[in-house]
Structure 1
Amino acid sequence: MQRHFRRFAALLLGLGLASGASAQSTEPASSPQLTPADLGAFFDGAMPFALRRSDIAGGVVIVVKNDRVLFAKGYGYADLGERIPVSPDRTLFRPGSTSKLFTWTAVMQLVEQGKLQLDRDVNAYLDFRIPERDGRPITLRDLLTHTPGFEDSARGLMPASTDDVDLERYLKQHIPARIFPAGELVAYSNYGCGLAGYIVQRVSGERFESYIAQHILQPLGMSHATFAQPLPSTLAPLMSKGYLTASDGKPQPFEAVDPAPAGALSATATDMSRFMMAMLQGGQLGDARILTSDTVADMFKEHYVSAPGVPGYGLGFYREDRNGLTIAGHGGDTVLFHSDLHLLPEQGVGIFISFNSAGSPDAGGTRMVRAAIFHDFLDRYFPTQTPRDPPYSGASDSSKVTGFYGMTRRNDSALRLLSLLSQFHVAAEPDGTLTVAPLLSDDAGKPLHWKQIAPLQYRQVNGTDRLVFVPDDHGAIRYFTTDYLPAITVFQRIPASRSMGAVGPWLGLSVVTVLIAVLCWFIAPFVRRHYRTKLDLVPATRISRRWSRMGALFLLATMLGWFALVAAMGANVKLLLHGTAAPWMTFLYVLGCAALLGVIAIVVHAARQWRDRARSRLVRVGDTWLALAAIYLGWFLVVFGLVSFNTHF
C-alpha cells in the first residue's frame, strides 16, 4: 500500500546557501564536446538502458544548439503490437504539463500587446468570479509563478472521453478553494493554468486551441503539433500508443486533458525542438517572432523564490539551475506519457525527452529516469566539482527541523486523509546527517543523506543539491525546500497532533481495538455455549450493548472503507482524474455519520457498564478502552474531513 502512496505523490510532483559554500564550476580540457557524434554515443547508451530498467515501451530525445538540431533519435516502439519504432519526426508524444509553456507564451504575447496586465486582478478578464482570500485577489503573475494559493484539484482533469472536454464548463464547475494568500507559497496548479488559457481565449476572441495554432505553432512551423482533442485525422495515425509498462504491452486509450491549456498538447520531438530554438533565440526562429527578447528573458528570470539561493519560478518556466548553469524548464506527466524540457539560455542549448509509458514504480518510474539522464547529460558536457564545504562548527539544527512535512500542493477539501498518508519524515541520523523519507531518495530508493553547512541549510552528501529550512517570524520552522526537485511545491511543517508520527500509532491502536472488540463479540456466543453460561443483562444494558455493537461495526466499516478507497486511488489514479471516486466518497461520508452516532452509543454503553454492579471490572475496563478508541476515531473522522460531504478534489 505504501508503494501506491509514493507513486501517487511522485505523480503529483511530476504533473518544482547564501552562507554556504557554493560549487565551483570547472570544465576539464578532456571533457566531451557537445557534438552530434558524442551525443549519439551518450544517448545510445543511456536511453536503451532506461527503457529496459524502467519497463518503458519507447522514448525520444532531441538536443538543439541555438538555431539547429544537434541530435534527434527515437528509442523503442511507438506501437508494440505493430512493432512501429519511435521517430523524432513522425511520432507524436503527449508532453503533459510541458504544454503549459505554450499557454504562458500566449499570455505574454497579449501582455506585450497591452491587452493583459500581469498585476491586475484576473477577475477583470473573466465572466465568473474567483473569490478573494485575506483581501488579496489573484493576478496573472500569481498564475504564472504558481502562487495563486489554490488547493490542488484532480477531479475531471483527465476525463474518460474527449467528448467531456469543455474549458469554460470545467473552470466554472471546479473552482478550487484558496488555502494560501496569493503570492505567498508556491503550490502547482493545473486549474490556474487553465484559467490563464481561458483568459487568452476571452481577450483574444479566439478559441484557445485556435489561438495557439495561429500565433505559436504555425509561425514556428510546428506542423505536427496540436492542442486539439480528439486529434485531427491527419495526425491521429502518428500518435504513439501509451502504455502502463512495456511488459504489459496493452495500449491504453488516448488521454483527454481538461483544462486543455494545462496539458493537452500532442507534438513530435522535432516540433518541440522548434519551440526550444525560438525561446533560446529570444522568441525568434527564422523570420518568425513569437515574443520579444526582453519578454523571453523576463520569463526565464526568477519572479518567486522559496528560499535564498534555491532556484524558484520564472514566468511559466521553473528554474532548475545546476552545475553552475542557469536552467529554465518544465516537466510534464499524464498517466502514460512523461516528458521534460530543459533550456540553458546562456549556452544556447535545449533538450527535450519524452517516454510513452508509466514504467515500473519499483524502478523509480519515469521521473527518476528523466532526472538521471538529464543530470548525467549536464555532468558530461558541463561538469562541475562537488562542493567542498568547510566543516560546520555551529550548533546543530537537527532537533529543530526534524518532524513531519507535507506538500503545499495538496487538496484540503476532500483528500486530507491522502495528505496524511503522503507526509514525509525528516529524521536525524547518528552521524549527524538528515534523511527525508520517502521523498528524497536515490535511483535505488535509498534515502539521501544531507549534512549541515550553515544554519538551517544542508547539502547532499557527495552531491551538489541543497536542503533549506525556512523559519517564520518567531523562529519556528515553516517549511523546507530543495533544489533536488522542481520548484513546484514546498513542504510545510505539520503540527504534531496531525502528523503521521502521532496519528499513525494512535489510529492503528484504535482500529485494532475496535476490530478485536467486534471479533470478540462474534466469538463470545460460541464460548458461552461451550461453557453453558448465559449472559444476564437488564433490558437497558442489553439495548445499549446492541447499539454499541452497531456503532463499532459502523466505525470499523468506515475506517476500512476509507483506507481501501485511498489504496485504490494510489493504485489507479484515474479514480481521481475521472472523478469516479466521488460516489464512493459520498457513501463513506454517510457511513461516517453513522459511525459518529456509533461513537456516542459506545460511550453511553461504557458509562452504563460502570453503573451496573453485576458487570465485572474486566468488562468495564474493556468497554472503557473501546470507548476511548471510538472517541479518537470520531476525532479522526472529523479532523481529516471524512464526514465533510465534500467531493471537490
Structure 2
Amino acid sequence: MNRYAKFAAAFAITCAAGIAMAQVPSPPNPAPASSVLQVPAVPVAVAPAAALAAPAGAAHALTADDLSTFLDGMVPYMIQRGDVAGGVISVVKDGQLLFARGYGYADLEKRTPVSPETTLFRPGSTSKLFTWTAVMQQVEQGKLDLDHDVNEYLDFTIPARDGKPVTLRQLMTHTAGFEDTARGLLPRKPEDVDLERYLKAHIPARIFPPGEIVAYSNYGCGLAGYIVQRVSGERFEDYIRQHILDPLDMHHSSFAMPLPPPLAALMAKGYKSASDGKPQPFELVDPAPAGALSSSATDMANFMIAQLQGGRFGDTRILKQATAELMHSRQYTAAPGLNGFDLGFYQEDRNGQRIIGHGGDTMVFHSDLHLLLDANVGIFMSFNSAGDAGSVHVIRKAIFQAFLDRYFPKEAPAPATVATAKADAARVAGWYQASRRNDSALRMLYLFGQVNVAAKPDGTLAVSMLTDYAGKPLPWHETGPLHYSEVNGKSQLAFVADANGGIRYWATDAEVPVFLFQRVPAARSLGTVGPLLGASVAILLATLLSWFVGGWVRRHYRRPLQLTALQLRTRLLSHLGVLALLAVVLGWLTFIAVTSADESKLLDGSGTGWLYLLYVLGVFGLLGALAVLVHAVRAWMVPRRGRWVLAGETLLALAAIYLAWFIVAFGLVSFNVRF
C-alpha cells in the first residue's frame, strides 16, 4: 500500500538481488535445514528490479536443499534492507517438517540468533485459527451449531440487526456485520486482560446486514473463544492447551499472558525496527482468542501438518477428516471468481493452487501462515519488527509470491478484450471505503483512508492502494463484465453492482479477502471533502489574517470601525467562531497524526480522553458557525456596507456552513467512544 512507498524502492532492488541469487545453483548447504542464519553485515549487491519476477519455466523441486538455496539467498538481504531485526520460516510437506530456519536476531543487544525450534514469536491474528479449530471441535461434539443464534451460548445478548441474529458461521467468515473495534485490544497491564469483561463492555455496532459484507472482526473471534470456554467448561487458554497444543506436541506455545517463566525466557524481543533497537514490552491482547498466541516456528509446523492431514498429527487427531474438509471449504465470497472465506481460514488461491491461510500483526510482530491443500505443503513465517516504513508487510508478501513462482509456477492467461472497457472504467471510477471500519467514533480517520479508483484514457484502471513494490499504482485491464485482471500479473479485481446497475463495492485477491471496498457518495468522498475542507480552512485563515492586518491599519491611521454595540458583539462572536472552527479541524488533524504515529493511543484506549475533548470542541465549532452566520446576515442588513466587506462575510459564512455540515456528517459531536 501507499504507506509503504518510502521503503519500496530500496526493497525492490534488494529483493531482486536476493531472488536472483537464489536462482543460481550452489553447492549443497552443509548446515541442517533447521539451522540459524544470521544477517550478514556486508553491503548488498543489487540487480535490475525486473529480476523480481521469477522466470517462467519448470518448477524447482521442493526440497530442503533447494529451500536453503532459495530462502537463504533472499531473506537475509530483505530483512537487512528492510530494517527488520529477525525472522523465522518453517515449511512442511507431505506430513513432515521439510525446512525451518531462523534469520537475524531474537535479541539485538545480546546478539541472540533466532532458533526455529525454541524462539517464540507472536503470530498475532494467526492465533484465530486455533480458536476456529476449537469451535469445530465443539461442533463435532454436538455442543455447538454453526447456524444457531450465538445468544444461545452466551450469558449476555448480541443485539439482532434487521431481526436477524449472529451465527458462528458468520463469525468464522467475518460477515456478522460488526464495525471494527480497537479500544482495549492491546491493554497495558495483565490485570486489564479479561475476556468476559472485554466482550460485555465492547459490543460493537452491527453496521451491515448479516451474512452479506465481509468486515474483519477481532471482537467476533473473541466472542467465539468465549463460547468455547462456556460450552466446554474450561478456561479458553486451558482448553487450547489441552485439546490442541498438547496433542500436537506444541510445547513451545501458549495463549497465557504473561507467559510462564520457562517460555518467557525464550520469547523473542519485539522492535519497531532493527535500527531503533529498543525492545518493546510483551504485548498483551484482549480478547485473547483473537491474537494472544506465542509459538515457535516448528510448533506452528505441527499445526500446519495437522490441518493438511485432515486433522491428524501422527497417531493423534484434533479433528475428524470430514470436519477438517468442512473447515477448508468455501463459505463466502464477495464476488464470483475471487477468493473468499472458508470456516476461519481465508482463501489465497494463486498459481493454480488451492490455498488457505491467515496472517497476523501485533504492533511489532508480523506473521503469515499458508496451506497449499492439494500440494500438501504449508509455509509459516514471522518477524519481530515492522521495519522501515512498514517494510515487513512487503517482505512477507514478496517471500510467499516468490515461493509460489519458484515451486508452483503458472503463466497468467492472456487477457481478454472487452469492447465496453472505457465506458465501464468511467462507470466504476470514484471513491471507496473499506468495510472494515468504525463508524461510531472514527469516521474522520476513515475519511482519509478512502481509496480512489481512476479511469485511464485507454480503459484501464488505477487503484490508489494497489501498488507495485515501487509504490506505483498497478494497471488493471477489464477481462469480463466489471471483472479486471492485473496487467502482466495474476491478481483479479471485481466490481459488484446492485439491481439497478449502481456500483456497490469492489473486491480483489491482490490482498487477503478480509474486507471489501464500498462506494462512497460524492458528498462524503475524499475527492469532494478534501478540496472543500481545504478551501474552507483557507478562508478561515485568510479571514484571520485580514482581521489582523485590518486592525493594524486602522490603529496606524486612527480609523476605528464605525459599528454599533450590537454589531461589535456579533463581530467578536464571529471572530471566536472562526477560532473554534479552526480548533476543531486542527484538533482532529493532530489526533490523526498522533494516532497514526503511535497506534497504541487507540489500541490501549489512552486516546479516549482526547476524543471527548475533540467532541467538546465540535460543539463550540457548531456554535461558532452559528455566530459567523448571524454576523454575516447582520452585515447584509446594515446599510452602506462595502461590497468587498459583504463578499468577505458571505464567503466566510459559506465556509462556516460547510464546516458545520462536516462536523455533523462525520460525527465530530457524537460523544461516542466505542472504537
- Secondary structure, in 3 states, of the residue corresponding to 2:466? coil
1:177 to 197, 202, 205: 205
Is 1:442 aligned with 2:468?
yes
Is 1:274 aligned with 2:297?
no
* Number of the residue aligned with 1:359: 387
* Number of the residue aligned with 1:571: 597
Q: What is the identity, as a one-letter code, of the residue corresponding to 2:126?
A: T
| Aligned-pair CA distance for 1:29 | 7.4
2:360 to 332, 356, 368: 332
| Aligned-pair CA distance for 1:298 | 1.1
* Number of the residue aligned with 2:500: 474
Distance between the aligned counterparts of 2:156 and 2:635, measured in 1? 58
- Secondary structure, in 3 states, of the residue corresponding to 2:179? coil
Is 1:139 aligned with 2:139?
no
Distance between the aligned counterparts of 1:591 and 1:525, measured in 2? 27
Q: What is the identity, as a one-letter code, of the residue corresponding to 2:399?
A: I
Is 1:247 aligned with 2:290?
no
1:464 to 481, 490, 494: 490
Q: What is the identity, as a one-letter code, of the residue corresponding to 2:193?
A: V
Distance between the aligned counterparts of 1:205 and 1:599, measured in 2? 57
Distance between the aligned counterparts of 1:6 and 1:249, measured in 2? 20
Aligned pairs for 1:124-523 (under 5 A) are: 124-361=152-389, 365-396=391-422, 397-437=424-464, 439-523=465-549
CA contact (8 A) 1:125 1:199 kept: yes
Distance between the aligned counterparts of 2:75 and 2:57, measured in 1? 26
- Secondary structure, in 3 states, of the residue corresponding to 1:368? helix
CA contact (8 A) 1:133 1:181 kept: yes
* Number of the residue aligned with 2:113: 85
Distance between the aligned counterparts of 1:147 and 1:533, measured in 2? 67
- Secondary structure, in 3 states, of the residue corresponding to 2:212? coil
> What TM-score, normalized by structure 2, do the two folds share?
0.91
CA-atom RMSD in angstroms = 1.6
| Aligned-pair CA distance for 1:134 | 0.4
Q: Which deviations, in whole Å up to 9, do the C-alpha atoms of 1:209-267 show, x marking residues without a partner?
A: 00000000001110000000001011001000000010111111111000000000000
Q: Which has the higher contact order (CA 8 A, sep 6+)?
A: 1
* Number of the residue aligned with 2:95: 67
* Number of the residue aligned with 1:10: none
CA contact (8 A) 2:554 2:560 kept: yes
| Aligned-pair CA distance for 1:395 | 4.8
* Number of the residue aligned with 1:110: 138
- Secondary structure, in 3 states, of the residue corresponding to 2:261? coil
- Secondary structure, in 3 states, of the residue corresponding to 2:472? coil
- Secondary structure, in 3 states, of the residue corresponding to 1:458? strand
| Aligned-pair CA distance for 1:621 | 1.1
Distance between the aligned counterparts of 2:596 and 2:649, measured in 1? 36
Distance between the aligned counterparts of 1:254 and 1:515, measured in 2? 45
How many residues are aligned here?
Answer: 627
Percent identity, aligned pairs only, is: 60
Distance between the aligned counterparts of 1:51 and 1:527, measured in 2? 61
- Secondary structure, in 3 states, of the residue corresponding to 2:439? coil
* Number of the residue aligned with 1:18: none
CA contact (8 A) 1:147 1:182 kept: yes
CA contact (8 A) 2:421 2:460 kept: no
- Secondary structure, in 3 states, of the residue corresponding to 2:399? helix
Distance between the aligned counterparts of 1:483 and 1:342, measured in 2? 15
Distance between the aligned counterparts of 1:121 and 1:488, measured in 2? 23
Distance between the aligned counterparts of 1:639 and 1:153, measured in 2? 20
- Secondary structure, in 3 states, of the residue corresponding to 1:641? coil
* Number of the residue aligned with 1:16: none
In structure 1, the gaps of 5 or more residues are 8-26
Distance between the aligned counterparts of 1:395 and 1:590, measured in 2? 49
Distance between the aligned counterparts of 1:144 and 1:429, measured in 2? 38
Task: Mark the CA change 1:450 to 1:4 in structure 2 (over 3 Å): closer, same or farther.
Answer: closer
Is 1:640 aligned with 2:666?
yes
Q: Which deviations, in whole Å up to 9, do the C-alpha atoms of 1:507-530 show, x marking residues without a partner?
A: 110011112212322333222122
2:62 to 8, 21, 34: 34
CA contact (8 A) 2:5 2:471 kept: no
* Number of the residue aligned with 2:641: 615
| Aligned-pair CA distance for 1:30 | 4.0
Task: Mark the CA change 1:233 to 1:550 in structure 2 (over 3 Å): closer, same or farther.
Answer: same
Distance between the aligned counterparts of 1:448 and 1:389, measured in 2? 15
Distance between the aligned counterparts of 1:332 and 1:618, measured in 2? 59
Distance between the aligned counterparts of 1:516 and 1:169, measured in 2? 50
CA contact (8 A) 1:6 1:422 kept: no
Q: Which deviations, in whole Å up to 9, do the C-alpha atoms of 1:514-550 show, x marking residues without a partner?
A: 1221232233322212223211211110110011111
In structure 2, the gaps of 5 or more residues are 8-54
Q: Please say which of residues 297-306 and 428-437 is displaced more in the overlay.
A: 428-437
| Aligned-pair CA distance for 1:335 | 0.8
CA contact (8 A) 1:507 1:633 kept: yes
CA contact (8 A) 2:421 2:459 kept: no
